[in-house]
Structures are given as C-alpha cells and as structure tokens.
Amino acid sequence: MELISEIFITLFLLWFFQFNVYIRKYLFAYVVVQYMMGRYKKNSVLIWDEINLLIKSHILYLLFCFVIAPHNMYTVSYLVRLVLMTVVSFVLVVVCSRTIRIVFRDRLKEKILVFGIGENAKEIDRVVRGNRFSLMEVMAFVNCNESERIAHKQVPLIDESKMIDLKDVKKYLENNPIDSCIFSIQGLSKKEMDYLMSLIDDKVMNIKYVPRIEGIFTFNSKPQNFDGLVLINTSTGDTQLMDVFFKRCMDICAGLVGCLFLIPLTVIVKILNLLCHDTGPVFFKQDRIGLDGKAFKMYKYRSMVVGAEKKLEELMEKDPMIREEYLTNKKLENDPRVTKAGNFLRKSSLDEFPQFINVLKGDMSLIGPRPYLFREIPDMKEYYKTVIKSKPGITGMWQTHGRSEVCFEDRLELDEYYYRNWNLDLDIQLLIRTVKTVFMKMGAK
C-alpha cells in the first residue's frame, strides 16, 4: 500500500518539477533505492526510525538522480529543482506513511503476546501504546509467577485485566491469532526457555526477547553472528569522520535558518518586554563550558531580572530552603527572578533561540549535552571528563527525557549516555522528540 502511494507521489512530483524526460529512470531509481534501504517490509518500526530511514533513502535517491542525468543537465536550475523535489517527496512520504499506518492500523497491526509482568513488560507496553506508527498492539501479558516450571518471579506492574496465566497460554493461542511473542523475563535458564518455547511452538511466527546485558550497552551496539556464537558489538564514544562532517553540515543549516527567524523574533520579544514594563536588554550572555572544557559566551533571551546572579546570592543567604534547593538541583522550581515575559519565553522554549548564533559559530551543536556552568564543575564529579568531549547542544537527552523534572545527577547520566552512544541516528531521534516535546509543552518550566 505504501509502495503504490509513493509511486503516485513520485510520478506527480516528476511531472510537477518538469522531469518528464527522465520519468521512467527516476521512478525506477526511487523504487530501487527505497527497496535497497529496507523499506516496504512489514516492520514494526517507531516513527523516528522510519524518518531516519527516509532521510537516508532520499539523500541516496538525490545522488542517484544526479548521477544518471546527462552532464549537459548540470545547471543551477536543474539542481535546485532536484533538491526541492527530493525535499517535497520526503515530506509527502512521511505524511502519507503515517496516515496509512494510522487509518489502516487495525488491519495492519502486529499482535503481540508478552511473557512477563515486570519492569520490562511495563516498558514494552508504554512504548507500544505511545507509538501508533509502530503498528504493534500488545494483546496480553503472561503471568509466569504461579508456574512451578519458572523459578524467576516478578513484581506485577501490569493491570490484571491484561494478564493471562501461563497454564492458559496454549488455549489462548488457539482462540487468538498472535503474530509475535516477546520474552521480557530476564535471566531465564535454558530449561525454562525451552519450556516456554514448547508452549508457542508452531503457533507464532516471530519470537523476540529482551536480553540481559551487564555493563556498557550503547546505542551503536549490534548483535553479531560469530560462527554460531552471538556477540554484542558495541562502542564507547568512537565517532566516524563522515558522521562528524554531516553533523556539522546539519548544524550550519540549522544555524542559518535559526538566525533568520531570530531577527523578527527579537523584535517581538523586545515589544513583549516593554509591555511588561521591562526596559532591560533583550539578550543575556554567560560563560559556559564548551568542547574540551573551553569557555564560550552562550546567548539567550533574558528571562530573569537584570542582576539575577547577585539576587540569587541574596535569596540563598536569606532562605536556607532556597539555598538547599539550588545546590541540589542547580535551579529553583518557582524562581522569583523570572520576569513575566521570561516565564512565557521559558514555557515556550523561545528563550533558547539565540543559541542558534552559538551553533552557527561552532561553539554549540543543535544536539548535544546541556551547556553547564563553570561553578557546576565540582558537582559534575567524574561525569565532567566525559561530558566535555561533546559540544553542548540546544537540545539533547535532558530535553527529551523530562527536562525540568530531571535532577542534576540524572542530567549528567543522560549526557554521558549521549556521548557514549552518539551517532546521526540518535541525533535525528532526539530532534524529532524535541519537536514533539516543545509543541506539547511537556515538562517546560
């Protein structure tokens, strides 16, 4: 269904952008590239995984179209039309793919049976329910606690109405067609696993399990078949030169676009300040920790009163509770220094918009760790050496995993995770999550 719809989209765009002469070649190139990239398979992928795949496939499609065209076609007009067609194609395909998966979800969804009722099972349920695009639905969770054959017992974290007992699995599978089973119970012995497998043998097409991993397990970790022995191939912060190059290209493009929007936005912010009787400067700059621990001036829209640092010292001196709160979380929940206009800027995340200047200059990246203050170094402890190996970002793990609700130590753990797991796939995922977070105003304070 997606293939047919994308063929029509491609045909229309080839006609609209006047590529009629090469319509067959370009259409063939599109289908081949998408197929080579692993699309058109019934995979239960999350939305950011699909967008990541579409970005890569459309870039490859753009290169294919460029290569197969005659050299006499290499004009500015041709290149502009080709780039515009690729961008429009990407947007339309994303919208089309999402619409198809939502409208036809009941017909296309993959029915899942999860063995387990503990933490992993709860997380699987959360991810599946929060991502309709994945075309997965958990039909039931299998409670193995009452079985004498399974020694590993779990604390129930799943609603009882969604549970079935292990002894009823065979009967359940006879009456309810299931596409896949997920074993979420970690630490099962071979004997226990063989018993569970015997219950679903010849009744389920796909079997997945959550592995038990001790130690470092990163975003780049991949299973490897080592002549029958399963190895986990992982990395600890190593980066590829091409990934670094594309990340900087993405930063430059984002910086240029952000700075263009910054001009009218600054005028609006100034007017908003004046309406709130705030005649102070629009911008606020402060020394922050950059790559390799070097200092840089970070720009923001001023959201606090002038002389906020001095006022903080006065508040901490007068009120021990405020002092304890700030020293623990490095922020105040109800900060009296925030202006009326600043409160709006913070909730909408607009106060961070001037950081696009830092991104364009190369001091910051679009995605990266939180830009920490120099006075926070003693509290960063062993995380400091890891965090400074990446450029700080406008958004990152901390922005998409709770933001204001995340305590200082958790922020450091998330930023360390980002460094050890960084690649373009993770950046794209975090960027999509950020857009969702900002528009839904999740956790913004």
Question: pLDDT digits over 214-268, tens only?
Answer: 544 444 566 666 556 666 665 555 566 777 888 888 898 889 888 989 999 999 9
70 and 98 both lie in a single domain: yes
Rounded CA Rg of the chain: 26
Which phi and psi (to 5°) does residue 213 adopt?
A: -120, 125
Residue 123 lies in a domain: yes
Residue 271 lies in a domain: yes
Residue 321 lies in a domain: no
- Taking alpha carbons only, the member of 181, 186, 9, 168 closest to residue 92 is 9
Residue 235 lies in a domain: no
69 and 116 both lie in a single domain: no
Query: Which amino acid is present at 189?
Result: S
Distance of alpha carbon 192 from alpha carbon 203, whole angstroms: 18
Residue 325 lies in a domain: no
Mean pLDDT score of the chain: 84
Structural domain for 160, as ranges: 109-212
Last residue of a domain, one of 105, 128, 160: 105
According to the model, what pLDDT value does residue 440 have? 63
Distance of alpha carbon 392 from alpha carbon 413, whole angstroms: 15
* 3-class DSSP state of 426: helix
295 and 384 both lie in a single domain: yes
Mean pLDDT, range 408-412, rounded to an integer: 86
The reply to whether the predicted model has a pTM over 0.85 is: no
- pLDDT, one tens digit per residue, over 161-197 is 999 999 999 999 989 989 899 999 888 888 988 899 9
* 3-class DSSP state of 394: strand
Buried b (16+ CB within 10 A) or exposed e, 320-333: eebeebbeeebeee
Report the Cα 56 to chain-centroid distance in Å.
16
Residue 312 lies in a domain: no
420 and 297 both lie in a single domain: yes
The number of distinct structural domains making up the chain is: 3
Say if residues 419 and 385 touch (Cβ distance below 8 Å). no
Residue 379 above 70 pLDDT?
A: yes
- pLDDT, one tens digit per residue, over 117-153 is 998 899 888 888 877 677 788 999 999 998 888 888 8
69 and 192 both lie in a single domain: no
Residue 34 lies in a domain: yes
Between the CA of residue 84 and those of 16, 78, 120, 247, what are the distances in Å? Answer: 11, 10, 43, 21
